[in-house]
Structure 1
Amino acid sequence: MSTVGSVVLSIDAELGWGFHDLESPPTDRVENARRGWNTLLDLLERYSVPATWAVVGHLMLADCDGEHADHPAPPGWFDRERTTWADRPDLRFGPELIEAVLESPVEHELASHSYSHVLFGDSRTTRTLADAELERAVGLASQWGLELTSFVYPRNDVGHREALADHGFRTYRGKNPHLEGMYRILESAIVDRSLLVRPSIDEYGLVDIPASLFLFGFEGRYRRLLESVWGDPMVRTACRGIDQAVDGDDDQVCHLWLHPNNLTGPRDDERMAAILAYLEQQRQETDLRVETMAEIGERCIGTRPSLKSTVS
């Protein structure tokens, strides 16, 4: 058996849809969503790193009436699209951005992040609503000639896994088993807790690939303070996870994730460039694999007996 693990990078690609239900969306991230998308895609091409781009289905549209009368969403769900963002197609649609991902020389995976960023774990999200979100996302992808097999839950709010299986999905990003942000950095550095996770097959036959590290979970003044003394702690932590994957076994994964809108300026670009450069270096010098969620899923299902299933 191989004694080397793998690294997966999943990307929550949503433009305005990640914030449309919030009373006060973060302006810097909203306004830099497209800039971050293009910058991240360029960086991935520079270092030849494939990623799983989990895209909100509505971005595949070129236009719409903003009403969505046949969608069983709760009242007011599409209000911002019809009102304050009615004249912001740049936040609501993104076919040219998706085309850029598909046309990249790097073999990225296009995955789903639902149709309109509905929270699947919310008690108000019925099976009917979950089905509608998945049906629309899968249908739009089919119009593009694409088959979706991986799913990233909006805000990592896991729910209705049986609906995923019924709509043909095979993998999803599960919740990080540990705390995020500063706690994750301290846990990794001080306690030396591993960032590696093991995919498992759940009771619906889906491959759960838990998150390891959110690459922008440590921001604000504490980030600036630590950067001034020790350099970027998130780069250190991500590189530690990559090293652990090099020393891991075939079933272990370092699953890094972020949103394109996390890249709001040069400091954020530098963080991603440093992480990707180190990942590429380790891939060149070792047997480390960089895989998409779909590739992990195919490999796990193909070796089903060797994985610990969640079936009780």
Structure 2
Amino acid sequence: MGTVTLSVDAELGWGWHDLDSPPNDRIEAARQSWQRLQGLLSEFSVPATWAIVGHLLLDDCDGRHQSHPAGVDWFERETGEWRERPDLRFGGELVNDLQTARVDHDIGSHTFSHVPLSSDKADRETARAELERSVETAANYGLSMKSFVYPRNRVGHRDLLVEYGFTTYRGNRPKTWVDENDTLGTVAKLVRGTVPGTGPPVVDPVVDEFGLVNIPASLYLFGFEGRARSVAEAVYADPMVLKARHGIDAAADDDGVFHMWLHPNNLVDERDFARMRAILSYVDDRRRAGDVTVATMATVADEVRKRVRA
């Protein structure tokens, strides 16, 4: 029997503040979608790892962050277009709600201001500042974070995670032919999304050379959108629901982890919430049947460490 894990990249506006043309529909939906997603998780008693952008935990700021090594240009949107949009910059009450939720969520870090931490995007000083500020703001909320999710999945500076008290991170999804072939057309994508045996991988968390538990991603729940999704839903069913079910079924027959992830802001339309309801309902059904367990990244990491020590 395997484990199902869900991680959530919780950003509000910070996921796109550095982009020239951010997706406004997702930005405007972000806060309400966060709340509705939390409600769905409570309804189905599914704990998740919420990786929080640390800036959301500030009560206020001038938006300049002049001492931050990323430079004032990195925060340009905060001092300009979003200066009068505290709803996109701050989210302490949302995190408070997670802390008091009836399911035991794992609250982790998604850096302080969503700087990609791969070595080609962030030097050591910037990476350290992002981690330090994230940990400090969390401490003001009584949070000691163990789980880490890299912005845009750009993994780097892993040794610094250990220095700041993290024990686990979401690693990159294992590469397979069907995932890496970007030339597939709509029909091929439909086939890929609906044919049994093409489901996403169940992964085996490992302890890396720094002592961190790497829990690779299995499935991004909103990686099948646009025309391909519309065609699939019209012809058969939501392909991401089918792929998620395939992965959950595989976990039921395996000792590994099926690790799904998303952003709250992926949930823009009612069909997006319908997707999540269908997936969470299926998780709950298989758990009630005794086929899978549901655990956060922190819990999975603890179990991996116990096995390594045994």
Structure 2: distance between partners of 1:205 and 1:74: 32
Matched, 1:147 2:151: no
**Partner residue, 1:298:** 302
Matched, 1:197 2:203: yes
Matched, 1:232 2:229: no
- 1:159-180: CA deviation from partner (whole Å, max 9, x where unpaired): 0001101111100000011337
Note the C-alpha offset of 1:99.
0.8
Matched, 1:160 2:118: no
Structure 2: distance between partners of 1:299 and 1:185: 36
Note the C-alpha offset of 1:74.
3.8
Matched, 1:52 2:49: yes
Q: How do residues 231-250 of structure 1 correspond to structure 2 at under 5 angstroms?
A: 231-249=237-255
TM-score (norm 1): 0.93
Distance 1:132 1:37, change over 3 A: same
Q: 1:18 aligns with which of 15, 28, 33?
A: 15
**Partner residue, 2:260:** 256
Note the C-alpha offset of 1:193.
5.5
Structure 1: distance between partners of 2:139 and 2:4: 28
Note the C-alpha offset of 1:70.
1.2
* Structure 2: 5+ residue stretches without partners: none
Name the Cα RMSD after superposition: 1.8
Percent identity between matched residues is: 51
Distance 1:80 1:184, change over 3 A: farther
Distance 1:124 1:268, change over 3 A: closer
* Structure 1: 5+ residue stretches without partners: 307-312
Letter of the aligned partner of 2:103 in structure 1?
A: V
Moved segments of 4+, more than 6 Å: 180-185
Matched, 1:285 2:289: yes
Structure 2: distance between partners of 1:185 and 1:177: 20
**Partner residue, 1:62:** 59
The number of residues matched between the two structures is 301
Structure 2: distance between partners of 1:31 and 1:87: 14
- 1:91-114: CA deviation from partner (whole Å, max 9, x where unpaired): 000001111111110100100000
8 Å contact from structure 1 (residues 185, 233) kept in 2? no
Structure 2: distance between partners of 1:39 and 1:224: 23
Partner SS state of residue 170, structure 2 = strand
Letter of the aligned partner of 2:76 in structure 1?
A: D
Structure 2: distance between partners of 1:124 and 1:197: 27
**Partner residue, 1:265:** 269
8 Å contact from structure 1 (residues 188, 194) kept in 2? no
